[in-house]
Amino acid sequence: MKNYISILALILLLVGSAFGGAFLDFFNGRSDGNNIVLEWKTRTETNLLRYEIQRKAGNNGEFIILATVQPKGSNSLYTYVDRSAYKDAESIYGYRLKIVETASGPTSYSNEITVTHSVSSVKRTWGSIKAMFR
């Protein structure tokens, strides 16, 4: 069974390298009490133009693009801090990465992750007041 898993991992690595894009080791997120921190690590990046970080509020929300991140190369660790999650009344967010290649290849996405984020109404209100004066 262990050899089967190793062979499968090698096949996925080769297929990812042949067609371009990114092969992720992991993609996860967590709330630090103030913001949501997303992290991912790549195994390979080939013909990659950018990552689009997408978020949806709640279980039935629509994904929106939060930011774009430029690739750093294979075996890279990425961190993105979502400082705008407190603005919504939702406490559950879904995140995914859109992997955009340089060629007109197929669009691919990471797995979708769910992060529970609890922010006080005081912080949410204060953040809204600050935003009005920017």
Q: Residue 21: what pLDDT?
A: 82
CATH number, position 67: 2.60.40.10
What φ, ψ does residue 63 adopt, rounded to 5°?
-70, 135
* Confidence category of residue 9, pLDDT binned at 50, 70, 90: very low
Residue 111 to residue 109: CA distance in whole angstroms = 7
| pLDDT tens digit sequence for 41-61 | 999 998 899 999 999 988 888
pTM, two decimals, is 0.72
pLDDT for 12 beyond 60 = no
- What pLDDT shows up at residue 17? 38
Contact 30, 115 (CB under 8 A): yes
Expressed as residue numbers, the domain containing 111 is 2-132
**How many domains are contained in the chain?**
1
Task: Tell me the per-residue pLDDT of 69-120, one tens digit each, with 9 for 90 and over.
Answer: 999 999 999 999 999 887 665 689 999 999 999 877 777 999 999 999 876 5
**Alpha carbon distance 80, 67 (integer Å):** 9
